[in-house]
Structure 1
């Protein structure tokens, strides 16, 4: 690892610590009504976009990540929702179909995921969690690179980051392996980042 890449890794880690603190306090101080309203209904542009995609990828919220599964209730009921799945504590991640009447199990990273017997899926529209973001599509994730590797292997899938507005930063530091988002959805706005949407 060169000094430059080591500096970038250290810079990202400091940002993660600061942004996790910011996210934790923001989520803890949301009043009950704001919590109930946040991420419950898809904004119109996204509702229209969902109609054009056979399989939608989402995630089961962990900690103080926004809980987005209520937004996709009808998609899940129709069998068109897939969630990330890890077979073990390895670098690879896939997506598996999930319906609301199916239990989620604790995965090797501590997150909730579909059972390993659930059918594999390749979503063509993916809503992913993040620690930080910028308006150019830069994303800071947990640091494992799971989503970036998945995005690299599935370049045609549209990528929409999900986060609280307080997670925005001026510019996310980027490594060559970081894949830009097409858009970001916060509790306040829908931000287009590229020209694919």
Structure 2
């Protein structure tokens, strides 16, 4: 399923109209704008490959944090980051904040997806980093980010998989849980 969704995402992003790409993920829907305004810290990600770039829509948050991996270890932490701060190569070719002593626990996490379903099922890249982080911090709101073509009828899940509270695509905001 991951291979099929990577193919779908790659071709969708490559064929996206330039104006549609420019407009996608630039403004938060009202419910998310309210949540991010109230949050002490919001976590996002630096877009990798064909992932949607969401950083432009988060410029007004109090504190923005990005994931950091120290090598190819199982743990992921979040470090504060501001637009203009330098990013460094991460272990899989992703960009991440430079190593700093400061880590933060966000109130809300925007996480990238390979696939999703309307019940909040999330298919990631396969490393389990977000699932482990969500398990260690169950109170954090989880918002998945994907292109609409990444939706599937049902994501295969295991007991360790954390469900999303909502999903944001270029077309709609889908609330999947009862925490929003």
Place the TM-score, normalised by the shorter chain, in its bin: over 0.9
Correspondence for 1:112: 95
Distance in 1 separating the partners of 2:8 and 2:168: 17
The secondary structure found in structure 2 opposite 1:22 is helix
- Partner of 2:60, secondary structure, is helix
Pick aligned residue for 2:18 from 32, 37, 48:
32
Residue 22 (structure 1) aligned with residue 8 (structure 2): yes
Unpaired runs of 5+ in structure 1? 1-14
Scaled by the length of structure 1, what TM-score is found?
0.90
1:171 aligns with 2:159: no
Which residues of 2 match residues 22-171 of structure 1 at below 5 A? Answer: 22-75=8-61, 78=62, 80-117=63-100, 119-171=102-154
Q: In 1, Cα distance between the equivalents of 2:95 and 2:55?
A: 12
Count of residue correspondences: 180
User: Once the 2 structures are TM-superposed, how far is the Cα of residue 155 of structure 1 from its aligned partner?
Assistant: 0.4
| Alignment RMSD | 0.8
SS in 2 for 1:51: helix
CA contact (8 A) 1:130 1:139 kept: yes
How far apart are residue 109 of structure 1 and its match? 1.9
After superposition, the C-alpha distances for 1:54-113 in whole angstroms (9 at most, x for unaligned) are 0000000000000000011122xx4x0000000111110000000112101001121000
With normalisation by structure 2, the TM-score equals 0.98
Gapped regions of structure 2 (runs ≥ 5): none
More helix by share: 1
Cα contact 1:85–1:94 (8 A) shared by 2: yes
8 Å CA contact retained: 1:66, 1:163: yes
Q: Which entry has the higher C-alpha Rg, 1 or 2?
A: 1
Shift of 1:118: 5.9
Detail structure 1 runs of 4+ shifted over 3 Å in the superposition. none
